[in-house]
Structure 1
Amino acid sequence: MLSPSDRESSSSSPGVLSLGTSCREDAEPEGEEKICAVCSDRATGYHFHVMTCEGCKGFFRRSISKGVRFTCPFTRNCTITKAKRRQCQACRLQKCLAVGMRKDMIMSEEALQMRRLLRKQKKQEPVGEPGELTEEQERLIDTLIQAHKRHFDSSFSQFAHCRPPVRLYIHNLSPQSPQEPGVPPVLQGLPHPEAGSPPGSLKSLPEDLLPDAFSMLPHFADLSTVLIQQVIKFAKEIPAFRSLPIDDQISLLKGATLEICQIQFNTVFNEETNVWECGQHCYTIQDGALAGFQQIYLEPLLKFHISLRKLRLHEAEYVLLEAIVLFSPDHPGITQRGTVDQLQEKVAVTLKNYIDQRHPLPEGRLLYAKLLLLLTELRTLKVENTRQILHIQDLTFMTPLLSEIIS
């Protein structure tokens, strides 16, 4: 998204959400030279909890992030100075840890990218009251909303053409059991939550009631295909997307479609019941378990939808989020990364300006930052989702389009 050469700095710009990579703890007297606690070079500030130079800061981050295991060729007690710090990486890393540099303050690459975007947007903010949206930004929002309305079926009528949902459990209720009063037909046979369990929680399943791991897989494969088709049509309505080479369009869609589907799906999520209300169809997180997905993916997925829905986003904010995800230059196979990066930043600036206009303080103070952090969670969820789909044993239920997207 932004230049990977941007480094963790010792202090954040005012108003930018601190993500804990490094922090300035005690004010240093003016004019006093700061010394790196690791190599005694000139320090630039507190990094990972310790006053260090840029060299040791970068060395520590790279060593921990990449999980490198160093071996000392000498006596494991090398002297680390500015001149000798590159002679033994093992002892240098050991001294970083000994002086108190903290592994838990190292951010993931996705979180770093989001923070860089926050900083760049902060620098572009005008002083004083936020300005009006430009005509170009208004047109962008209108284009995205119209594309969304034309190609997102809020009634989910196409779900009727999917293979029917089958909710089977070991030791479950008999298929001939009478319909439970007050429960939608699509939820018949689902176990009732235990007292104190949140609706739709995986933990509400009784211990003696185990899901058939693939009973919902055919239905989920079909409805995922419907959602993917809608996302493709949505993207093709965006002039900037159509202007890209066809190979880049394919790469962007393969990289972003599953994330966009989740953002669109959030518009019908009821955070009070933890149910996705799709017209005549209703789905809970338990249905994901019935399709073969594991708890390590389903629980963070539910948390993501609850968090995003509670922000009470406007339609414009949802479609701008979808466009930010779509125009990600980080996806493999992109040939015009610079162009895609510029498109993404244009959308991000529009989202920030829209929030400033429509969510006055204090409501909108951290909304933009929260959305960017949720997008990093969404990226992680997509990776885990794809991993689990590829490890489901019976992939004969997968449709060609879904297989192409996750390949």
Structure 2
Amino acid sequence: MKLVLCFTGSSPSAGPPTSETATRMRNGKPPVPAVCLTTWTGNNKELHQRRSVGRYDHLMMTTLSETDIADVGHGENLGCVTEEVSVSTAEVKHELQTSPSQPASYTSSPKELSDTLHMDHSDVKLDPSADTPAPVGQPVKRKKGPAPKMLGNEVCSVCGDKASGFHYNVLSCEGCKGFFRRSVIKGAQYVCKNSGRCEMDMYMRRKCQQCRLRKCREAGMLEQCVLSEEQIRLKKMKKQHDEEAGRSSTMSAPSPAADIPPLAPEQQEMIEKLVAMQKQSNKRSFIDRRKVTPWPQSQDPMNREVRQQRFAHFTELAIMSVQEIVDFAKQLPGFLELTREDQIALLKTSTIEIMLLETSRRYNPAIESITFLTPDFSYNKEDFAKAGLQIEFINPIFEFSKGMNDLHLDEAEYALLIAINIFSADRPNVQDHDLVEKLQQPYVDALHSYIRIKRPNDHLMFPRMLMKLVSLRTLSSVHSEQVFALRLQDKKLPPLLSEIWDVHE
């Protein structure tokens, strides 16, 4: 097991805790220095629901520039270090033993998406119509510095239980540490039955997940620390590969392109079918574009009807994209062999990431716009903002799209990336992990072979593409925050989008 320590700022300073810090801790207050601790065990299925691409992480062991580590900024810069320690694995036991009640599981009904798996394209209704959850507290920013020593009588800043350390920037217990990590990784959205007014303690922490997550953020827990774990691991892999590459370069010369074997016949056939499937789905969307609510001509920002029309326009485009993705997934060999529950689990979490992939391939850097279907459906950042999206979500979309555009991927590479993304065994609620990984493997192998043939001199392209899948996990988390913001704006999503994005009335 590894303990990852993430410090805000460029690097942590050494030294024992100051007298000021010790005084604050004796008084039960959180310390001034900001440090976040989290554990990672490679064999734990749940903790594998981080920013990863399953068991293919080892394929990314190659030289990457700092800008390849993450496409999407998440607030403050984080410098992280790791150290080997012996850690108790009783995180879950701690919470179950100290909690007065059993966990209240919260899962949504898969009916809407289940119906979509079997509906005709013409059955999709473009009828957007909101909910207003309580606003989430802003995290407390603290100064950087080393973590103070524990005195043994500290309490969790979230629920009041006995604290075990400083986790994600906050003095907290094992239970709240794990709850915050799981919530961030899954992009979880909870609903409070008491309108967000629950007082958080050891009893209520198991009763109301929304208020518990809100209290975590108000106490100062930082999502950046959770998301940075993948970046730390990739940087370590980069360093390891740099050392191996340095040793091997002195021993042998690189093989010429002529030595690269061609695609296997089954791989060539697979790629051709994937590209044809995508073209067919895009063709249906092109025909259905006439059903989409027109983009209003009025520029009046105060006109409520105009704002609603813009929002309807984008949600209807999103529904068309969802239907494209469902159609594409149903045609992938092996997808229908999965149980209905696993099909739904894969689609619910991969859909937004595939939509963002499709958005990136339509990015035009010359005019900094994204064009769907025809030039009439072209949008810049201002257009997205007029439809109700936040700049905190718009900017990462365009940054990711620009990064993808710089790779100059072709139709085959996009299609293979989408298939790999769909068959990600680390998605929440997936039951048959082995089968999903088995179905994903041919697409990973085909992409690797295809890139070696198309770009024989670019040994970084394959890991860079897989890194984009990691970046999509980050964007997916940002999207979850955007969905909350839309509900605060009194904007109601259509049923299909609500089901896929876990928006519960």
Q: TM-score range by the shorter chain?
A: 0.5 to 0.7
Distance 1:74 1:398 in 2: 48
Q: Deviations over 1:41-63 (max 9, x none)?
A: xxxxxx967xx86338999xxxx
* Aligned counterpart in structure 2 of residue 282 of structure 1, from 371, 375, 378: 378
TM norm structure 1: 0.62
Q: How far apart, CA to CA, are the structure 1 residues paired with 2:402 and 2:443?
A: 24
Task: Rate the CA distance shift 1:134–1:58 in 2: closer, same or farther, 3 A.
Answer: farther
Question: What residue is the counterpart of 2:412 in the other structure?
Answer: 316
| 1:165-189 CA-partner distances (Å, limit 9, x unpaired) | 13655579xx9xxxxxxxxxxxxxx
Q: CA deviation at 1:135?
A: 2.8
The answer as to whether partners of 2:275 and 2:412 remain within 8 angstroms in 1 is: yes
Match of 1:376 among 470, 478, 484: 470
Match of 1:236 among 330, 333, 337: 330
Determine whether 1:108 maps to 2:228: yes
Q: What is the distance in 2 between the residues matched to 1:117 and 1:141?
A: 30
Q: Aligned to 2:85, what secondary structure does the other structure show?
A: helix
8 Å contact 1:167–1:290 — kept in the other structure?
no
List per-residue Cα deviations over 1:176-209 (Å, max 9, x = no partner).
xxxxxxxxxxxxxxxxxxxxxxxxxxxxxxxxxx
SS of the residue aligned with 1:108? helix
Aligned to 2:180: none
Residues 150-159 or 335-344, more deviating: 150-159
The percentage of aligned residue pairs carrying the same residue is 26
Aligned to 1:54: 84
* 3-state SS in 2 of match to 1:158: helix
2:440 to 344, 349, 360: 344
Superposed displacement of residue 261, structure 1: 1.6
Aligned with residue 348 of structure 2, among 254, 269, 278: 254
Partner of 1:227: 321
User: 1:148–1:356: structure 2 CA closer, same or farther, 3 Å change rule?
Assistant: same
Where does structure 1 differ by over 6 angstroms across 4 or more consecutive aligned residues?
12-15, 56-59, 67-70, 104-107, 112-119
Which runs of structure 2 are paired with 1:8-407 in the superposition (5 Å)? 16-17=62-63, 54-55=84-85, 72-73=150-151, 108-111=228-231, 128=255, 129-153=259-283, 156-166=286-296, 169=299, 215-277=309-371, 278-279=373-374, 280-361=376-457, 364-393=458-487, 397-407=492-502
The runs of 5 or more residues in structure 2 that have no matched partner are 1-40, 49-57, 67-78, 90-141, 154-163, 167-223, 245-253
- 1:81 — aligned with what? none
RMSD: 4.4
The runs of 5 or more residues in structure 1 that have no matched partner are 21-46, 60-66, 76-87, 91-103, 176-211
Higher relative CO (Cα under 8 Å, sequence separation at least 6) belongs to 2
Deviations 1:21-78 (CA, angstroms, capped at 9, x unpaired): xxxxxxxxxxxxxxxxxxxxxxxxxx967xx86338999xxxxxxx998752279xxx
TM-score normalized by the length of structure 2:
0.51
Letter aligned with residue 255 of structure 1: T
Residues 78-133 of structure 1 deviation map (CA, whole Å, 9 limit, x = unaligned): xxxxxxxxxx978xxxxxxxxxxxxx9997344478789999x999xxx9443322
In 2, Cα distance between the equivalents of 1:158 and 1:397? 22
Question: Does the CA-based 8 Å contact 2:356-2:397 persist in structure 1?
Answer: no
Residue correspondences, number:
301
Give the counterpart letter for 2:394 in structure 1.
L
